[in-house]
Structure 1
Amino acid sequence: MELTALGLLVLGVLLAEPVSRALAAARWPARDPVGGLLAWQAVGLAGGLSLLGSGVVFGLAPLGPTLRVATPAFVHALSAGGLPPQLDVLHLLALIAATVVALRLVGVLLAVTFRTLRARARHRDLLDLLGTPWPAAPGARVLDHPVPVAYCLPGLRSRLVLSAGVLDTLDPPGVRAVLAHERTHLRERHDLVVLPFVAWGATAPFVTGMVCAQIAVAALIEMRADDVAASRVAPKELVNALRSMGGAAPAAALSSFTAALEHRLERIEAPPPPLPVAVRVLVRLAAIALIALPTVLLLFG
């Protein structure tokens, strides 16, 4: 099992740093944002399984040839009121380190989720108090504010918000483009796509690859929403709408507009050619294989 643990550690480190940096710098995800998001999900999940699993596998190595054999032996020893005598200090430290990192990651994820849900609940209450339902777009609310702002508030009771400035500034196709963009965020739950990477970044902010992942995923969900909106209206209408909006959005909202707005506008006006079908299929198969690799090593290695 020591070799399996070493393999998992190497895989985890590679995914957390050089692979994440390379994927963040790659240009092909802009040609297939859905495939890029799947690739990032695979990198994040496989990297987490590998790094945490390496400590567990190494720590339990003296108890059996595989994790399926060693884990019951470890649990049996704990239930008997003690630690297995086969475990020395080094193996115990590996188990402790894996446990601490796992608890830290879960704790950060829960804390971020709790803070986000609480902020959204307060924001939702304010919107229900101050916003006016807009019959022309079911589920949308209009805020009486002259600055053109549009955003969505995800969740089980999601909200789609427009300011009065949007309706005054944009023509009907532009409003439809903005609504299509925001509804894509809500429908595809992009807030949940970003959340694990926020947790990873908060858990290990010193790892550059984690920061790159968070930024890249945020950019890709905007590209995906832009693509859907551009398929509903003329790309020129979407560009004009986004430029008029200026990128403003309240805190605690999943903003449609980022610091990379100009890059997004260029991409909408001159969209890159989509990846060939065979390549898109290969990206998805590679994502599945990447997740399967540490899983197989943990179960059978």
Structure 2
Amino acid sequence: MTALALTALAVVLSLAAPVLLDRARWLEQVPQAAVVVWQSVALAAALSAIGAALAAPEEALRALHGGELRFGPALFVGAGLALLLAGVIVVRLAVVTVRLALDTRRRRRRHIEMLDLLHGERRERSELDVLAAHLPLAYCIPAKPGRVVVTDATLDLLTPAEVDAVVAHELAHLRARHDLVIEAFTALHVAFPQLVRSRLALESVNRLLEMLADDIARRSVGAAPLRSALAKLAGTADPEAEIDARLARLARRPDHSAWPVRVAVLRATCGALALAVIAVPTIAVVTPWLQVAFDALPF
């Protein structure tokens, strides 16, 4: 029943778990730890799928021989089939990841080349590009070095303090390489079959990374200019619901005497949850193979 259980676990982790995690708003209080939980769920789903592929041929052989696993040609064929099925999953994930990484970097290079061709006006900071446009926009391009892009309309709309807040937010994305986290989740999303994939993981992780960048920027420029800049830029890029959640979060004033303890408890909870999620499929995958190896020993 291991293969069936692991298949069910992979489906639960791919479809049900994202819904539950997306509704757990307490995770937004510790976005970095929350991203680790999401990563553990994604990894556990992949491990469960691989484990199901490894276990299925063995269980089929046991069913044919009344629950016993007999050593012989059939066992080697079954082991080869198990490795082939698991290899297909791993290779598909690897191919999707590499293709996505190459396409993403190709698009970034073209974007940077376009910026250079347009002679975007450089303002004070070497990482900042200013483009002539009527729409207020601010975003970053991960590269070496990373680039932060704003439009003339953004500079006209925001105060200098608010511009500093926006730049600090985008630099936080660049320095923490949040783009790599999004790439990993995108690769898993594309690699999984359409029937057992959910966009909630991508959307929720993206929201958490925005909140994490908000926290980093807030420590350097303060919450007020960041909040006002975000309110002025609302509706230009990010979904309105995400902006509202970030604004509400920035507006909260926690009890600072109790806040460090609360954060520590929430982070510990996230760590324990992440370990538990990873442990279940890992133990389920490893235990049967260890049992087979133990049974094969001459003593």
Fold match, TM over 0.5?
Answer: yes
Deviation at 1:123, TM superposition (A): 0.4
Residues 56 and 210 of structure 1: is their aligned pair in 2 closer, same or farther, counting only changes over 3 Å?
A: same
Residues 271 and 97 of structure 1: is their aligned pair in 2 closer, same or farther, counting only changes over 3 Å?
A: farther
Tell me the equivalent position of 1:265. 247
Residues 123 and 290 of structure 1: is their aligned pair in 2 closer, same or farther, counting only changes over 3 Å?
A: same
Tell me the equivalent position of 2:122. 133
Please, which of 132, 150, 174 is the counterpart of residue 144 of structure 1?
Answer: 132
Please, which of 278, 285, 293 is the counterpart of residue 298 of structure 1?
Answer: 285
- Mapped to 2, the partners of 1:95 and 1:268 lie a distance apart of 49
What 5-or-longer segments of structure 2 have no aligned partner? 63-71, 289-299
Deviation at 1:165, TM superposition (A): 2.3
Tell me the equivalent position of 2:74. 85
* Count of residue pairs the alignment pairs up: 272
Matched, 1:23 2:21: yes
Tell me the equivalent position of 2:46. 48
| Offset from partner CA, 1:191-215 (integer Å, 9 cap, x none) | 1111122122223363466321111
More displaced 10-residue stretch of structure 1: 118-127 or 50-59: 50-59
Please, which of 161, 165, 172 is the counterpart of residue 160 of structure 2?
Answer: 172
- Mapped to 2, the partners of 1:181 and 1:11 lie a distance apart of 37
State the 4+ residue runs in structure 1 displaced beyond 6 angstroms: 61-64
Tell me the equivalent position of 2:142. 154
Deviation at 1:171, TM superposition (A): 1.3
Matched, 1:199 2:187: yes
| Offset from partner CA, 1:81-129 (integer Å, 9 cap, x none) | xx9533568x776555433333332222222222111101100111223
Please, which of 188, 211, 220 is the counterpart of residue 232 of structure 1?
Answer: 220
- Letter paired with 2:227: V
- Mapped to 2, the partners of 1:173 and 1:32 lie a distance apart of 26
SS of 1:147's partner is coil
| Offset from partner CA, 1:252-293 (integer Å, 9 cap, x none) | xxxxx3342223222222367764422312311331343244
Matched, 1:186 2:174: yes
Tell me the equivalent position of 1:248. 236
Tell me the equivalent position of 1:283. 270
Deviation at 1:6, TM superposition (A): 4.4
- Normalization by structure 2: what TM-score? 0.78
Q: Indicate conservation of the 8 Å contact 2:223/2:250, yes or no.
A: yes
Q: Indicate conservation of the 8 Å contact 1:204/1:210, yes or no.
A: no
What 5-or-longer segments of structure 1 have no aligned partner? 65-82, 250-256
SS of 1:157's partner is coil
Matched, 1:112 2:68: no
Deviation at 1:39, TM superposition (A): 0.3
- Mapped to 1, the partners of 2:196 and 2:228 lie a distance apart of 35
Q: Indicate conservation of the 8 Å contact 1:59/1:95, yes or no.
A: no
Residues 33 and 271 of structure 1: is their aligned pair in 2 closer, same or farther, counting only changes over 3 Å?
A: farther
Residues 300 and 93 of structure 1: is their aligned pair in 2 closer, same or farther, counting only changes over 3 Å?
A: closer
Residues 247 and 192 of structure 1: is their aligned pair in 2 closer, same or farther, counting only changes over 3 Å?
A: farther
- Mapped to 1, the partners of 2:53 and 2:193 lie a distance apart of 20
Query: What is the RMSD computed on CA atoms of the aligned residues?
Result: 3.0
- Normalization by structure 1: what TM-score? 0.78
More displaced 10-residue stretch of structure 1: 17-26 or 43-52: 17-26
More displaced 10-residue stretch of structure 1: 104-113 or 48-57: 104-113
Deviation at 1:185, TM superposition (A): 0.8
SS of 1:86's partner is helix
